[in-house]
Structure 1
Amino acid sequence: MATDLFGDPIEDSHLNPSKFSDPEFDPESYISDLRTFVPFDTLRSELRSHLGALKHELVDLINRDYVDFVSLSTKLVDVDAAVVRMRAPLLEIKEKILNFRGSVDFSLAALQSRRKQRSQADETREVLELLLDTFHAVSKVEKMINELPSVPAELPNGTTGSTEKDRLRNSIPFQHSENGTNLRETQSVLLERIAIEMNQLKLYTTHAQNMPFIENMVKRIQNASLLLDTSLGQCFADSLEHRDANAIYNCLRAYAAIDETSSAEEIFRSTVVAPFIQKIIPHGSSGAVGESSGDELVQYYERIKRNIEDDCKVCLEISFTENSGLHVFSFLAKSILKEVLSAIQKGKPGAFSPGRPVEFLKNYKSSLNFLDYLEGYCPSRSAVAKLREETVYIDFMKQWNTGVYFSLRFQEIAGALDSALMTTTLLRSQNSSNQEYSRSSALKQSISLMDCLRSCWRDDVLVLSCSDKFLRLFLQLLSRYSNWLLAGLNARKTGNASGNEWAISAAPYDLLYIIHDINWLVDEVCGDYLGHVLELLKSCSPAVLDLVEQGILQGGNSLKVLQPLVINSIVETLVDKSVEDFRQLKGIAATYRITNKPLPVRHSPYVSAVLRPLKAFLEAEQAATYLTKELRKELVHGAAFEITRRYYELASDIVSAARKMESSLQKMRLGAQRRGGASSDVTDHNVSETDKICMQLLLDIQEYGRNLASLGVDAADIPTYRSLWQCVAPPDKQNTISF
């Protein structure tokens, strides 16, 4: 069999003739499937080839059975007569089927007509029943209203007719005797039933809109609704006044049934809440008439809480009764908080002003406590969430402009630090009246910074809703202090004061105070201060607390990086004072060149003065007080390395210049004889001036090494000291440093 490029056998044809005899064979789908992978021309040629093969096979069959094929035509005799015989019964069956179909269609049409008539009758009956139910409901409501023990004599706005007015005027007045409670409860129960019927009546009228019968009853329905509202309002107000829990419960259920919760909330506000709020925070159309000149709300809130506990608790507890269906009422927000907000706006408008931050914060926190008190009546979290979503609650919170308050606090706190940092000198904390930090801080500037940092999180300053802003202020204060120190150190290095006079005039001892204060600030910020902040924000999520902790630690540690810079500044100052005595090195070279001085036997006097500024600094009281062992070691080593480097640069220059001069004068001095030296057994006939200079410098650096050792520094560990030793020591001593 032939194979393709991949070794697979090549089929001679893509057709499958066996499928042609399948009863479900579909030529179009079969051709479509083949055309997806067989070209049209190839498919056409294969079909033609298959057709030719079939024709050829047919011819073969005819030739093979030719006798039977020829005799087939002789067997097809009287075919037309057979067809006629078969057609007659078929036509008879067709006629019967058509007759039966006509009768079925007639029966179906009759059934559909009767079904339509029945449907129309059902609709008409439903409408009639609805109209009858509406009429009965109106009549029932009116009858039940007539049975009320007491109703108002006249409705507002004169909406009732004269008949109703006369009937109401002749009604039995409400009795407040010993049986008053029973009458009030009876009336509330009846009103609840009327409310249920009225709710049903509203449902009927909604389904029967635009019907003449209903339109004729609209006035009766309106009068009944108005009578119900008035009677229910009077009963609810009277129940609140007498604190009748059962009557209040029934009235609230009635209000809930007719979906008039706002009316109940308004009656509760005007009947119960408004009177005692008016007494506590007097206000009126003429303006505020407060009891005191101040605008602090703490005392008012306490009195309001007591009155709520005494006068409102019954109604609030009823409205939050589980599975009572009375959760639709919002007496906390729309009755109590609404009246409180209105009274404060009219009677104490200055309480919302952030222009007086202290009073504003007290009022704000007391208001939050009051809101927490109101939320305490909510039986579930969903009830608390619903209370916070109320428009009155949101409006109450909008009255407190915490953004302006923070801006004022920002100016106050940041301004205090700026004022402290604008001084031209570093001020010791002993002159400060604040003794809280003077035992730990050395400078008033650092005390001011710590005061400002603590102010950000003090109870009388912090607003938790602005805690992110106060955290940013904290970081800004640390950055301001760090930039102040950094600018001063840069000015000290360049010598350009430009507003940093304190750094130019600061002595090394003053810089010690800065080092001490940096360590103190880092310990305070990353210690108790951090714990205090995290305690204040404990209600936040762990992720937020982690970010806050990282921010405060990073801010505190940002001060730590300034400590090496301050130490370097101290070292530079001490080094500058120490190297002033190195000017005498040039005198050594001049002395041995001009005079015939004998070989040196002792070190030069300047050596003892080189480390004197460093020793004096370390022996001072400030260093003993504020320098730790680690800082002392770091400072001594830094100064020793820098002084030694300067020493090496000057000494190597002197030795190099001496050797160059010696090389240029060597020819002139070959014939001269050198005179004897100071020692009888040491002759300097072969000792040059350069050798004498190196011998003198060797004696000097030996003494310098002993002085370094007295400070705890091994001179051999200093690379530039080893270079200096090798520069001046004779060849046999260059690899051995000894003092």
Structure 2
Amino acid sequence: MAAVEAPGMVSMGPTNVAALFGDDVDTQPLWFKKDAFSDPDFEPDEYITDLRRFVPLETLRAELGSHLSVLKNELVELINRDYTDFVNLSTKLVDVDGAVLRMRMPLTELRSKLVSVRESVGSSLSLLQDGLRRRAHAISARQILELLLDTAHVLSKVEKLLLELTAMPEEDGPAAAAAASGGGSNENGDGIANGTHSDGNGNSDADEGGRLEESRSRLLERIASEMNRLKFYRARAEDMPFIQNMEKRIAAADGTLATHLRRCLEGGLEKRCKKVIYHCLRAYAAIDDTTGAEEAFRVSIVSPFVQQILQQSSSKGIAALAGDGLDKVYEQVLTRIETDCRFLLEIAYAANSGLHAFNFLSNSVLKEVHAAIVKAKPGAFSPGKPAAFLCNYKASLQFLSALEEYCPSQQAVKTFRSQAAYSDFMKQWNLSVYFTLRFQEIAGALDTALPSGSLTEAQGGPVKVENDTSEFLLHSSAVLWKSLQRCWHDDVFIPTVADKFLRLTLQLISRYTLWISAGLNARKVNITGVGTASGGEWATTATIEDFVLVRHDVDVVARLLESQYIDRVVAVLASMPAESLSGVAQCIRQSAQKLRELLPMIADIMKELLAEKSQEEFGRQLTKYNVKAREISSYVSLWQFVAPAERQSVDI
């Protein structure tokens, strides 16, 4: 097979004439980059488009043709150089199928071995997983069995302890004798049982009875701990038939424990035995029944003295507490809280006591006071009498503040305010209805004082402004200032609805401003006859003297709003943030500024009225002079007909 020769090839060999003379066949222009053809992202159209900006197409075609010839020559040289290997390639490809068969046999055997190993491993894995499942099932069954056994054991233990508790005597020794002889208290008025030792705070216990009650409270705490375990076990297996069969026993044990625990706590509260109370509260906390302890304290301690105070307030013989006033009631309740409840609050709020889950202030004291007042004095919460309602509301806020003083920390205060009893007590005060009544009272007085027919001067002469040398000349202005002052008076204002009273203040100023503005517009329409106006009929009949009074009062109101009134409002809202106070002052200043903008319009109307009045007066005087001139002219005309001798006798 002959070697391949490229077209135009010279017989002298692979090197051409240019190579003999030393010319570089790879010499191309700088703009021609042959490496770009080897780029995987090579795009012919884009390549030609880019080069057309530098060289003509004919030059590019010639250069590409030259490069193609070089490539063909290199291909021919490459084939001629390895021509022998290229020819022998076909002779070496002999018995390819046999080689494939020889290679396939060991691969097939290896595949079969791998399949058998895979099946063996899969079988072993299935057996292992099945064993693990059986093991897990056995472990779960064992855990359930242990849980059931523990539940039964704990329930039996609780029942045994309850029997032991029931078998304990109620009173023995000196305590029983004291109870039989007269009640077991020391007759000193504080309800503390007689005993032989004191804890230093005035709380003493009967010797034998105290030890018995303390033992009972300790046993109750132990039973409560076991009952907590029992409830935990029951919650984990409550769907099991075994547990369901024990529900009646568990409920009976729970009820018996609650009864004895409440009885023991009430006894400890009556005798003020701190150890007994502490153990009982820990027992209540163990069974997560804080409501039971709070209810026991409310019924046994709080309710009796609250009912007693309210019964006294309802009796006709005590005039100071009669009616729906609550201030005296709160005073007595706080006195009794200090004497009868403080010891328990100190126990519950003691550091590291573990009893902070109890909220006796809200769920016992406040709840009982609220319920008793609603029952005995339902009219105390009625806003139908705004003055009495406000007094009771402020007294209630002071009562809540006094209760918060028993809280040892800010977190305790937040907890007290977050309770449902606190929310229910605050919801009892319908502040919206109270504000509505005050709104009708204050805004109605101003609407009545703003006449539509004619202006009314202040009754009894000018009204002096308190703490200022100014005075109001119109009745409407005096009523406006009185209404504005009343919005922030102690007998009307409530800080809880401060935003509503501020809105009412701005509405009053706006109502007065619109009344003046409507009058000025009506006066303008009446003079020019252009446009329509309503609500300012008073200005159509007003004289220049009336507008003098209006301008005086508008100037006084605006000046007082910007000075004295802002200081008053800011002083009332002193507890608010500085940014809020600044915003309140800015709102009032803007309202005063809108009122001041009416002063130039009032001055213009006064100028027009003064000009009209001067013109009318000049016309009247001119008419009078014209009549007099006509009389003189007639007299002169008659005078010329009188004889000269008779003129001396005529009196001109």
Q: TM-score, normalised by structure 1?
A: 0.62
Letter in 2 for 1:185: E
Aligned-pair distance for 1:83? 7.6
The count of corresponding residues between Structure 1 and Structure 2 is: 535
Matched, 1:313 2:342: yes
CA separation in 1, counterparts of 2:105 and 2:617?
A: 149
Letter in 1 for 2:366: L
Q: Which residue of 1 aligns with 2:149?
A: 132
Find the partner of 2:587 among 531, 542, 551: 551
Deviations 1:387-418 (A, max 9, x none): 33433322222222222222222222223334
List aligned pairs for 1:520-531, cutoff 5 A: 520-531=556-567
Aligned-pair distance for 1:551? 1.6
Deviations 1:196-240 (A, max 9, x none): 211111111222234343334333322221221111111111122
Letter in 2 for 1:441: E
Aligned-pair distance for 1:587? 11
Deviations 1:64-109 (A, max 9, x none): 6555556566667788888888788777767776676666556545
Find the partner of 1:416 among 445, 448, 451: 445
Matched, 1:517 2:514: no
Matched, 1:537 2:573: yes
CA separation in 2, counterparts of 1:579 and 1:388?
A: 74
Q: Which residue of 1 aligns with 2:489?
A: 458
CA separation in 1, counterparts of 2:83 and 2:535?
A: 130
Q: TM-score, normalised by structure 2?
A: 0.69
* Structure 2: unaligned runs, 5 residues or longer: 1-29, 48-70, 176-205, 528-532, 634-652
CA separation in 2, counterparts of 1:388 and 1:327?
A: 15
Deviations 1:431-462 (A, max 9, x none): 47988589631425233222111001001011
Aligned-pair distance for 1:589? 12
Aligned-pair distance for 1:142? 2.4
Q: Secondary structure at the match of 1:294?
A: coil
CA separation in 2, counterparts of 1:483 and 1:258?
A: 68
Q: Which residue of 1 aligns with 2:269?
A: 240
Deviations 1:10-34 (A, max 9, x none): 9898775xx8xxxxxxxxxx9xx99
Matched, 1:190 2:219: yes
List aligned pairs for 1:253-652, cutoff 5 A: 253-282=282-311, 293-422=322-451, 424=454, 426-428=456-458, 430-431=460-461, 436=466, 440-443=470-473, 445=475, 446-487=477-518, 494=526, 504=541, 508=545, 511-580=547-616, 582-583=618-619
Letter in 2 for 1:318: I
Contact kept, 8 Å, 1:283 with 1:346, in 2: the verdict is no
CA separation in 2, counterparts of 1:436 and 1:535?
A: 17
Q: Secondary structure at the match of 1:355?
A: coil
Deviations 1:127-152 (A, max 9, x none): 2321222122122222333343xxxx
Q: Which residue of 1 aligns with 2:210?
A: 181
Cα distance change of structure 1 residues 78 and 372 upon mapping to structure 2, 3 Å threshold: same
Contact kept, 8 Å, 2:458 with 2:478, in 1: the verdict is no
Letter in 2 for 1:468: D
Matched, 1:172 2:169: yes
Deviations 1:324-352 (A, max 9, x none): 44333332222222222211211111111
CA separation in 1, counterparts of 2:331 and 2:403?
A: 12
Cα distance change of structure 1 residues 181 and 443 upon mapping to structure 2, 3 Å threshold: farther
Aligned-pair distance for 1:124? 2.8
After TM superposition, the structure 1 stretch with the greater mean CA deviation from structure 2, 56-65 or 569-578, is 56-65
Cα distance change of structure 1 residues 567 and 437 upon mapping to structure 2, 3 Å threshold: farther
Letter in 2 for 1:473: L
CA separation in 2, counterparts of 1:564 and 1:79?
A: 117
Find the partner of 1:123 among 132, 137, 140: 140
Cα distance change of structure 1 residues 58 and 464 upon mapping to structure 2, 3 Å threshold: same
Deviations 1:689-710 (A, max 9, x none): xxxxxxxxxxxxxxxxxxxxxx
CA separation in 2, counterparts of 1:239 and 1:272?
A: 11
Q: Secondary structure at the match of 2:207?
A: coil
Q: Secondary structure at the match of 1:333?
A: helix
After TM superposition, the structure 1 stretch with the greater mean CA deviation from structure 2, 566-575 or 440-449, is 566-575
Cα distance change of structure 1 residues 137 and 581 upon mapping to structure 2, 3 Å threshold: closer
List aligned pairs for 1:43-122, cutoff 5 A: 67-68=84-85, 104=121, 107-122=124-139
CA separation in 1, counterparts of 2:333 and 2:549?
A: 55
CA separation in 1, counterparts of 2:271 and 2:557?
A: 64
Contact kept, 8 Å, 1:522 with 1:556, in 2: the verdict is yes
Contact kept, 8 Å, 1:530 with 1:549, in 2: the verdict is yes
Letter in 2 for 1:173: E
Cα distance change of structure 1 residues 447 and 82 upon mapping to structure 2, 3 Å threshold: closer
Contact kept, 8 Å, 1:301 with 1:370, in 2: the verdict is yes
Contact kept, 8 Å, 2:266 with 2:296, in 1: the verdict is yes
Q: Secondary structure at the match of 1:179?
A: helix
Q: Secondary structure at the match of 1:366?
A: helix
Deviations 1:587-610 (A, max 9, x none): 999999xx99xxxxxxxxxxxxxx
* Structure 1: unaligned runs, 5 residues or longer: 1-6, 20-29, 39-53, 149-167, 597-739
Cα distance change of structure 1 residues 589 and 180 upon mapping to structure 2, 3 Å threshold: same
Deviations 1:473-520 (A, max 9, x none): 222322333344445556667489998569846563x55444443333
Cα distance change of structure 1 residues 444 and 104 upon mapping to structure 2, 3 Å threshold: closer
CA separation in 1, counterparts of 2:461 and 2:399?
A: 45
CA separation in 2, counterparts of 1:365 and 1:556?
A: 32
CA separation in 2, counterparts of 1:436 and 1:79?
A: 124
Aligned-pair distance for 1:386? 3.7
CA separation in 1, counterparts of 2:543 and 2:415?
A: 63
Letter in 2 for 1:309: E
CA separation in 2, counterparts of 1:82 and 1:66?
A: 27
Identity of aligned residues (%): 46
CA separation in 1, counterparts of 2:242 and 2:617?
A: 122
Cα distance change of structure 1 residues 202 and 70 upon mapping to structure 2, 3 Å threshold: same
Cα distance change of structure 1 residues 332 and 63 upon mapping to structure 2, 3 Å threshold: same
Letter in 1 for 2:567: G
Deviations 1:619-644 (A, max 9, x none): xxxxxxxxxxxxxxxxxxxxxxxxxx
Aligned-pair distance for 1:267? 1.2
Find the partner of 2:252 among 223, 244, 253: 223
Q: Secondary structure at the match of 1:281?
A: helix
Contact kept, 8 Å, 1:426 with 1:506, in 2: the verdict is no
CA separation in 2, counterparts of 1:488 and 1:78?
A: 122
User: CA RMSD of the aligned region, Å?
Assistant: 4.5
Cα distance change of structure 1 residues 79 and 534 upon mapping to structure 2, 3 Å threshold: closer
Contact kept, 8 Å, 2:324 with 2:379, in 1: the verdict is yes
